[in-house]
A and B are shown apart, each in its own frame.
Chain A
Amino acid sequence: MIEVDGLRKEYGSLTAVDGVSFIAEGSAIFGLLGPNGAGKSTTIGCISGLLQPTAGRVRVMGHDVTTEGRQARACLGVVPQELALYEDLSAAENLLYWGSAYGMKGGELRRRIDEVLELAGLLDRAKEPVKRFSGGMKRRLNFACGIVHRPQVLLLDEPTVGVDPQSRVRLLDLVREQAAAGTCVLYTTHYMEEAETLCDRLAVIDHGKVIALGSLAELRAMIGERDVLRLAGTFQPEAVIEALRPLESLEVVQADEDALLLTLEQASRRLPEIFSALTGAGAEVRETTMTQPSLESLFIKITGRELRE
């Protein structure tokens, strides 16, 4: 279990994480979803002991990462965003080293190395130097190094960035297997689809703050069945907002002179009345984009921005 309470991390005048709180339970995958620079990796860094929190409290399996750092780290497995491998060594030698860093040794470690190599699909390449591996194979080995010691808590920092589709599927399966085996998995990503298909619970994070938190079902309920309608053209924001106000269950998320962002139910059926109201407000629409309800919709609804912006 990971308990994060009021976590804050400052770099001089920059606040990278601002009062983040959540609880990630065992046998489940907790997702931290947010755009690049939202504070996901900083949060992971504070949990893993790599960074010293400015304020707040983080506990891993009941151990405070600041005062009981060693015990907390002993429960953790970390799969960093960037590869952290010795390319001159073989896959087995890498696992041997990282296993020893967690106090494993002897026959137990050897057996476990074979197990994780099998899991990662690298058993037949165990003795080959890592520098000869493809990018996907290195990613899988990077993951294997994080689970060689059977951690109770697994931190995964965007492990599928830059991975080919085949390796990505394999990696996501591995993550699910870990959770199914009872591990508490904290998974950060900016891929909305990944979060939707993988995570049991989610925290949506932006500018260092949690802006939405709950299970996938709870978050979907927050969005409702609302579509996102994005219009490009020429608008008079005040006039447009006034013209759209009478339309039932329509919400103007953002109104600029060249763009309009709306959320509403069954948008496709209601396009005629929307265009009619906009024409009446002197607007000229050149492009219309409609998005089905998703976490992206939620992010847009809350922040007014797309997840990948």
Chain B
Amino acid sequence: MSFIWSSALKDLRRRLRDPLGLLLGAGIPLVTLALISLAFGGSGGVQPQAHLLVTDEDDSFGSNLLLGAFGQGPATELVLVEEVERDEGRARIEAGEASGWLLIPAGFGQAVLEEDPVTLTLVTNPAQTILPGILEEFLSVLVDAVFYLQRLLGDPLEEIAAGPEEGENTLPDQTVAEISITVNQLIERASTYLFPPVLALESGVDSEEGETDFNLGALFFPGMFFMAVLFLAQGFSGDVWEEKLHGTLQRVITTPAEVAGFLAGKLLAAAVVFAALSVLVFLAGSWLYDLPLSRLPLAVVWSSLSGLMFLVLFSLIHLYAGSQTTGNIMTSAITFPLLMAGGSFFPFEIMPDWLASVGRWTPNGWALEQLKAILAGKMDMGSLTVAFLGMAVLGVVAFVLSARRLRRGFALA
């Protein structure tokens, strides 16, 4: 036992004297997580808004209706309208000070009512790409809307546009009543299409007591953490080659110490690193994603065991590889597809169903699902025991095979 401890201490000292290796292994996935959060999450940025200069040379009921549409609903978030004179509008759009300049010509309203051709001019800023496109699309929709409005309510609109007779401040009551009846009848006829039965659907998942809902960051968090574990395990596994190439493995074999103890020491040192990383990352996760602290000890144990399982499996690959380079290529060739399919790069929740179901059967995908269940408080003791037993059996088999290979074939090959 004392040799296992001293082997573990020796490897821990070596690891701590190469902090860059540890930082790279654990840091890359965490940086990736930060990048993903920035790309898909985050609402702190300013939403882009198209700046539209408008010159209304018509100033009619129709042109006011058109401009008013820019101030309705979501358009207010997308488009900022500023009325300007023709010269100012031309000058400012040429100076690139806005996304577009809309010129509503005189006679626009009357032309709409009388169904005469009329041209709206929109000058866009060539220095911008997306915002002028938004303006073009939005204006196109508005023109269509005006067209259909004229078709449906042409007569009443014409009367409204004509305004009260000379000497009167308002439209006659009879005219207002006729307009109201016309609009009312139109709405009644179209009500089947305009006002379908209203069903309010509220969707949500009932949270049982103690369960935690994941947000986007939390969705990526376990997978990215497992990526760090896999990277570290892959990096640590190549150490058998370092021991061999430096002659220290052969030297161990000439001592009365057991090679299994030497290997166990390596795993123990790695377990300490995995556990330390797990504690740090889960504490951070607890702070960021409100993970209950009570679940962290089990999550730390599970993550450390998972790391050890990956380490011993990767070590086995190295032990059968013809050279260190071959071993590195083989473990990398396995690691990256595992990360892709196993829910680390892309959470299962956003994968196609068939790929997610395949990914859940990869070793890391399976281990990741158990970790998520632990963190979400959905793990029952029965399945937890089965998971730990499964992990232990796989780890022990790989360990025995590795120790045998280490003792003879690998050390002397």
Partner-B contacts on A (CB < 8 A): 48-52, 70-71, 73-74, 76, 78, 80, 82-89, 93, 96-98, 100-103, 105, 129, 145
With contact pairs A50-B250, A86-B14 given, residues A97 and B256 touching in the complex (Cβ less than 8 Å):
no
> Once the chains bind, are B247 and A102 in contact (CB under 8 Å)?
no
With contact pairs A73-B254, A73-B255 given, residues A97 and B6 touching in the complex (Cβ less than 8 Å):
yes
B43 within 8 A of A: no
Q: List residues of chain B with CB within 8 A of the CB of A50.
A: 250, 253-254, 411-412
Q: List residues of chain B with CB within 8 A of the CB of A74.
A: 256
Q: Chain B contact residues (Cβ within 8 angstroms of A): what range? A: 20 to 34
With contact pairs A50-B254, A73-B256, A78-B254 given, residues A88 and B3 touching in the complex (Cβ less than 8 Å):
no
Within 8 A of A (CB), among B1-40: 2-3, 6-7, 10, 13-14, 17-18
> Once the chains bind, are A49 and B254 in contact (CB under 8 Å)?
yes
Kindly state the separation between the CA atoms of A80 and B244 in the bound complex, as whole angstroms.
13
Nearest CB of A to B252, in Å:
6
Q: List residues of chain A with CB within 8 A of the CB of B254.
A: 48-50, 73, 76, 78, 80
Kindly state the separation between the CA atoms of A103 and B4 in the bound complex, as whole angstroms.
11
Q: List residues of chain B with CB within 8 A of the CB of A85.
A: 246-248
B404 within 8 A of A: no
> Once the chains bind, are A83 and B247 in contact (CB under 8 Å)?
yes
B251 within 8 A of A: yes
Nearest CB of A to B407, in Å:
10
Kindly state the separation between the CA atoms of A190 and B256 in the bound complex, as whole angstroms.
29
The 5 closest A-B pairs by CB, nearest first: A84-B247, A100-B6, A101-B255, A84-B251, A74-B256
Q: List 22 A-B contacts (CB under 8 A).
A: A50-B250, A50-B253, A50-B412, A51-B412, A73-B256, A80-B250, A80-B251, A84-B247, A84-B248, A84-B250, A84-B251, A86-B10, A88-B13, A89-B13, A97-B6, A97-B10, A98-B251, A100-B3, A101-B252, A101-B257, A102-B256, A103-B3
Within 8 A of A (CB), among B356-413: 408, 411-412
With contact pairs A84-B250, A85-B246 given, residues A102 and B255 touching in the complex (Cβ less than 8 Å):
yes
Kindly state the separation between the CA atoms of A86 and B243 in the bound complex, as whole angstroms.
9
Nearest CB of B to A126, in Å:
15
Within 8 A of A (CB), among B148-163: none
User: Apart from A71-B256, A98-B251, what 5 extra A-B contacts exist at CB < 8 Å?
Assistant: A84-B251, A85-B248, A100-B2, A101-B3, A103-B3
Q: List residues of chain B with CB within 8 A of the CB of A84.
A: 246-248, 250-251
Q: List residues of chain A with CB within 8 A of the CB of B255.
A: 73, 98, 101-102
Per-residue CB contact flags for chain B residues 285-303 toward chain A (1 = under 8 Å, else 0) read 0000000000000000000
Q: Which residue of A lies closest to B4 (CB)?
A: A100
**Residue among B14, B250, B251 facing the most chain A CB atoms (10 A cut-off):** B251
With contact pairs A93-B10, A100-B6, A105-B2 given, residues A86 and B412 touching in the complex (Cβ less than 8 Å):
no
Q: List residues of chain B with CB within 8 A of the CB of A82.
A: 247
Q: Which residue of B lies closest to A47 (CB)?
A: B254
Nearest CB of A to B248, in Å:
5
Nearest CB of A to B348, in Å:
40
> Once the chains bind, are A87 and B246 in contact (CB under 8 Å)?
yes
Q: List residues of chain A with CB within 8 A of the CB of B14.
A: 86, 88-89
Kindly state the separation between the CA atoms of A86 and B3 in the bound complex, as whole angstroms.
16
Q: List residues of chain A with CB within 8 A of the CB of B246.
A: 83-87
> Once the chains bind, are B10 and A70 in contact (CB under 8 Å)?
no
Q: List residues of chain A with CB within 8 A of the CB of B18.
A: 88
Q: Which residue of A lies closest to B2 (CB)?
A: A105
Per-residue CB contact flags for chain B residues 236-268 toward chain A (1 = under 8 Å, else 0) read 000000000011101111111100000000000
Q: Which residue of A lies closest to B262 (CB)?
A: A101
Q: List residues of chain B with CB within 8 A of the CB of A105.
A: 2
Q: Which residue of B lies closest to A96 (CB)?
A: B6
Nearest CB of A to B264, in Å:
13
Kindly state the separation between the CA atoms of A78 and B248 in the bound complex, as whole angstroms.
12
Nearest CB of B to A216, in Å:
28
Q: List residues of chain A with CB within 8 A of the CB of B250.
A: 50, 80, 84
Kindly state the separation between the CA atoms of A52 and B412 in the bound complex, as whole angstroms.
10
Q: Which residue of A lies closest to B247 (CB)?
A: A84
Kindly state the separation between the CA atoms of A145 and B254 in the bound complex, as whole angstroms.
12
Q: Which residue of B lies closest to A109 (CB)?
A: B6
Kindly state the separation between the CA atoms of A103 and B5 in the bound complex, as whole angstroms.
12
Nearest CB of A to B219, in Å:
39
Kindly state the separation between the CA atoms of A86 and B2 in the bound complex, as whole angstroms.
19
Kindly state the separation between the CA atoms of A292 and B251 in the bound complex, as whole angstroms.
40
Q: Which residue of B lies closest to A129 (CB)?
A: B17
Kindly state the separation between the CA atoms of A48 and B246 in the bound complex, as whole angstroms.
18
Q: List residues of chain A with CB within 8 A of the CB of B412.
A: 50-51
Q: List residues of chain A with CB within 8 A of the CB of B2.
A: 100, 103, 105
